[in-house]
């Protein structure tokens, strides 16, 4: 297939592109606006491959999207382009509404028009995979059952509300127009090439710099953690084997409190990076509790038994093995870190993390 990947220079998108080029025979067209979190350096290993192409296009620019589809004639779309950071959505929701809702609408319409013009044999094979988040399901009680594909949507933040809206659009295009969609909802991703506004890379890089490690509230918020390369493998399984119109939850089967995650990173840094900044005793000494953010969900948990049962996917990494790979990658890729401009992000309210 020739697969058009939106957001392919982002954290998850770049992992998907690397895997598509590295382990399949598919051609890839990466469509990315290159916002602050998009980085072509994450694709250096495959950028010269003859099966890889790049288009710097905003999914909100419909005319440019039409040209991309006409020029490349894709057999499938993997839609990962999104604004994704909850803190940013709280401070300014407009970009999330524009990209996640309007952008998804534009992409759906352009892709549908393209699909309807395909010969029957190609149309029968065409797929549109929309990648979403477990945050659309909202907060779960401490002892509550994990969210499955039939759980009621209850988004709490502008970010999760915008993703829930996009999910509804995708399902409506399937129901109304017969457009061949697939949906996935994943838990918290971590791994190489993640922009350091997210918890795990923020803690790693701040720890190495001797800066404070900010923790919202008591740090007892629970998330399920999914290694990004496991997620990429799952998405490929859904694209190639998933049933049109179906939703598949993707999780790491690994619930951890935020403070527990930070402690695990600090302990790995003690071994992997013993040469601490001057005057620092333990990395854990950098932990600083800050006021909780508005509407902060206490627990997300996801039931991913459907994708395991129907498609045979299970995560290959444990949290321990995935975190070790992640810390080691950041320690070995200082050039990538410098390329993304860590100073672009301030946490919270203009304070350097």
The residues carrying an active-site annotation are 134-135, 159
Helix (H) or strand (E) holding 131: strand 127-133
* 93: helix, strand or coil: coil
Give the 3-state secondary structure of 252-310.
CCCEEEHHHHHHHHHHHHHHHCCCCCCCCCCHHHHEEEECCCCCCCCECCECCHHHHHH
Distances (CA, A) of 118 to 62, 203, 236, 268: 19, 48, 23, 52
Residue 135 exposure: Cα atoms within 13 Å on the Cβ side:
23
List CB contacts of 211: < 8 A, sequence separation 6 or more: 286, 352, 353
Give every strand in the sheet of 255-257, ordered side by side. 188-190, 222-227, 255-257
The size of the chain, in residues, is: 353
Q: Which burial class, exposed, middle or buried, applies to 300 when counting CB atoms under 10 A from its CB (0-12, 13-18, 19+)?
A: buried
Residue 61 exposure: Cα atoms within 13 Å on the Cβ side:
13
Distances (CA, A) of 247 to 10, 41, 153, 239, 310: 23, 32, 13, 11, 12
Please answer whether residues 186 and 135 qualify as being in contact, where contact means their C-beta atoms are separated by less than 8 angstroms.
Answer: no
Distances (CA, A) of 17 to 23, 181, 190: 10, 20, 16
Q: Which burial class, exposed, middle or buried, applies to 77 when counting CB atoms under 10 A from its CB (0-12, 13-18, 19+)?
A: buried
Please answer whether residues 157 and 105 qualify as being in contact, where contact means their C-beta atoms are separated by less than 8 angstroms.
Answer: no
Neighbours of 212 (CB within 10 A): 18
């Amino acid at each position: 297939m020739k697969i058009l990947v939106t957001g392919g220079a982002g954290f998850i998108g770049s992992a998907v592109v690397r895997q598509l080029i590295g382990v399949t025979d598919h051609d890839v067209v990466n469509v990315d606006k290159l916002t602050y979190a998009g980085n072509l350096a994450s694709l250096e290993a495959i950028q010269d491959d003859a099966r890889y192409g790049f288009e710097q296009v905003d999914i909100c620019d419909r005319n440019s999207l039409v040209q991309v589809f006409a020029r490349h004639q894709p057999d499938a779309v993997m839609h990962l382009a999104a604004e994704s950071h909850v803190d940013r959505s709280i401070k300014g929701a407009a970009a999330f509404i524009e990209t996640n809702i309007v952008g998804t609408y534009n992409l759906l319409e352009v892709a549908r028009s393209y699909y309807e013009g395909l010969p029957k044999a190609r149309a029968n094979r065409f797929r549109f995979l929309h990648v979403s988040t477990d945050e659309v399901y909202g907060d779960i009680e401490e002892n509550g059952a994990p969210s499955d594909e039939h759980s009621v949507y209850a988004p709490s933040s502008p970010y999760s509300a915008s993703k829930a809206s996009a999910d509804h659009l995708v399902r409506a295009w399937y129901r109304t127009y017969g457009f061949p969609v697939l949906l996935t909802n994943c838990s918290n991703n971590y791994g190489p090439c993640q922009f350091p506004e997210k918890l795990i890379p923020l803690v790693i890089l701040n720890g190495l710099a001797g800066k404070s490690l900010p923790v919202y509230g008591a740090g007892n918020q629970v998330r399920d953690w999914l290694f990004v390369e496991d997620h990429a493998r799952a998405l490929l399984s859904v694209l190639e084997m998933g049933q049109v119109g179906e939703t598949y939850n993707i999780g790491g089967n690994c619930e951890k409190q935020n403070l527990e995650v930070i402690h695990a990173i600090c302990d790995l840094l003690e071994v992997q990076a013993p040469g601490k900044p001057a005057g620092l005793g333990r990395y854990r000494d950098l932990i600083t509790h800050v006021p909780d953010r508005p509407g902060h969900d206490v627990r997300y948990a996801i039931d991913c038994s459907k994708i395991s049962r129907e498609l045979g996917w299970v995560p290959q990494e444990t949290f321990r093995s995935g975190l070790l790979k992640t810390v080691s990658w950041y320690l070995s890729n200082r050039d990538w870190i410098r390329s993304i401009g860590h100073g672009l992000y301030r946490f919270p309210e203009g304070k350097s993390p």
